[in-house]
């Protein structure tokens, strides 16, 4: 790994970005149940996008399972691979 020296301002910007991302992720986790109720509302297919400030993929998948959905497809529309579009389908009741 190569260490890149940062100026004090650069270091402050990095810390600020990390703190803001962490805060956004925590807010997304708090809002996740309501979002999942809205997205996984009984329709045949549901789609949700996961990224660095959203609820983690594992949390989304668990929320979908709890609401009767299963993951059927995923794609990464961003070139960095940091964004994932997850597609779920409703599991028919048994």
Position 89 scores a pLDDT of 97
The β-bridge partners of 11 are none
> pLDDT > 70: what percent of the chain?
74
The CATH number fitting domain 8-90, selected from 3.60.21, 3.10.28, 3.40.50, 1.20.1260: 3.10.28
**Residue 67, C-beta contacts closer than 8 angstroms, at least 6 positions apart:** 36, 37, 40
> Angle CA(27)–CA(29)–CA(32) in degrees, nearest 5?
110
Higher-confidence residue of 19 and 47: namely 47
**Residue 50, C-beta contacts closer than 8 angstroms, at least 6 positions apart:** 56, 57, 60, 83, 84, 85, 86
- The string of pLDDT tens digits covering residues 1-39 is 566 666 766 656 666 555 566 787 788 888 899 999 999
Q: Where are the alpha helices (DSSP H) in 1-94?
A: 8-39, 57-66
* pLDDT-wise least confident of 14-28, 46-60, 75-89: 14-28
């Amino acid at each position: 790994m190569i260490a890149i020296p940062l100026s004090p301002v650069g270091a402050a910007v990095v810390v600020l970005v990390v703190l803001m991302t962490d805060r956004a992720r925590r807010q997304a986790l708090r809002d996740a149940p309501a979002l999942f109720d809205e997205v996984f509302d009984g329709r045949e297919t549901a789609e949700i996008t996961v990224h660095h400030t959203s609820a983690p993929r594992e949390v989304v998948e668990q929320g979908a399972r709890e609401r009767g959905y299963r993951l059927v497809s995923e794609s990464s529309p961003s070139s960095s691979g940091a964004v994932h579009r997850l597609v779920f389908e409703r599991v028919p009741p048994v």
